[in-house]
Amino acid sequence: MSNLETRPREEVCAAGSHAPSSGSPADGASADRAPVEILDHRQVPLGGTRAMDVRRTLPQRVRSLVGAWCFLDHYGPDDVSTSDGMQVPPHPHTGLQTVSWLFEGEILHRDSVGSLQTVRPGELNLMTAGRGISHSEESPAGVRPPLLHGVQLWVALPGDRLGDEPFFEHHGDLPVWTGAAGERVQVLVGSLSVGGAELRSAATVFTPLVGAQVDLPAGASAELAVDPRFEHALLVDTGDASFEGVPVPVASLGYVEPGRSVLTVTAGVEPVRAVLIGGEPFAEEIVMWWNFVGRSHDDVAAARADWMAQVEVDQGDGAEAPAPVPVPGDGGTRYAPGAPGRRFGEVLGYDGGPLPAPVLPDVRLKPRRRPA
């Protein structure tokens, strides 16, 4: 999924909290254990042909990374039964992996390395951008589920992988544990243990990570055995959830520092669906703008220039045009000659032109120093 904001901020991301600590643990956390930090979402209108709002919890000013997880958008449920549904035109990525995970609905993925893959709930679409890739995402034409609901996450690649060739993988048989009371845990990436069973995903990762969906009936709980080197965060999709004894509101993240080998998720009077993410604190600082992850402003500026060299925008009277979001089948943009052989390649089969990049911000940002 693309970040369709027309004026995206340039984000400087580093491990740790970027806000002064209050020195007091959250309610329900004891003084000798790391507090559960509640990170509220911000509503982001994406507009364009997708015309939907998302709830973004990463990055934000107080905490921009959880492990190498650097971006988390939570969307839906949206009714796509009487519209074109999701329509995200071909757009580029660098320096990251996209993790597409659905609770309801279907999304059709196309990319510049020739992939064509529908993803459904319980399945993983994982795209590794490396030096550069482009892709589109759309609700399948014809008969499809009426609702679209899920999360889109990005994982920052380590510096020694920024020049790698791009690739795509789909995983339709991810490990699942089911408890006697109807508890269910499914691992997307990485591994954890629950109920004495180790769940390990075959998905490719380049830093120590974990991602999992947790579903609990009302009144149930799950104890997750995790790597104590990891920091973790729990996104609550639905229900009355507590994380390590601390209530986490719907659409918010509950964050815990490294040092815990067991994490407990509990459902109150309502069933819970949540997504756990975690990883070793990322050792590098990154600059993230639009759909690019690099190590400097110059990295993302070069990626934008390379992408726009592949895109032609119809400007009508010749005046400089804003960066539109193309409507499927309506033109407005097209690939420039030679695009298939350039950095981001060409996405074949999408009914519409590629997405132009927004204008870069005037301010140059340097990577923020990691907190002491």
User: 25-29, 77-81, 117-121, 255-259 — which is least confidently predicted?
Assistant: 25-29
The mean pLDDT value for 219-236 works out to 98
The DSSP bridge pattern shows strands 53-58 and 69-79 to be antiparallel
Asked whether the beta carbons of 132 and 65 are under 8 A apart, the reply is no
The pTM assigned to this predicted structure is: 0.89
**What pLDDT is attached to residue 363?**
83
Q: What is the pLDDT of residue 295?
A: 94
The structure tokens listed for 73 are 């958008």
Q: 20: pLDDT confidence band, cut at 50, 70 and 90?
A: very low
Buried b (16+ CB within 10 A) or exposed e, 6-32: eebebbbbbbbebeeeeeebbeebeee
Q: State the Cα–Cα distance between residues 338 and 202, nearest whole angstrom.
A: 36
pLDDT in tens, 275-313: 999 999 999 999 999 999 999 999 999 999 999 999 998
Q: Report the range of poorest mean pLDDT among 19-23, 107-111, 313-317, 319-323.
A: 19-23
Spell out the residues 6+ positions from residue 161 whose beta carbon is closer than 8 angstroms to its own.
130, 206
Q: Which residues pair with 69 in a beta bridge?
A: 66, 155
For 157-209, the pLDDT digits (tens) are 999 999 999 999 999 999 999 999 999 999 999 999 999 999 999 999 999 99
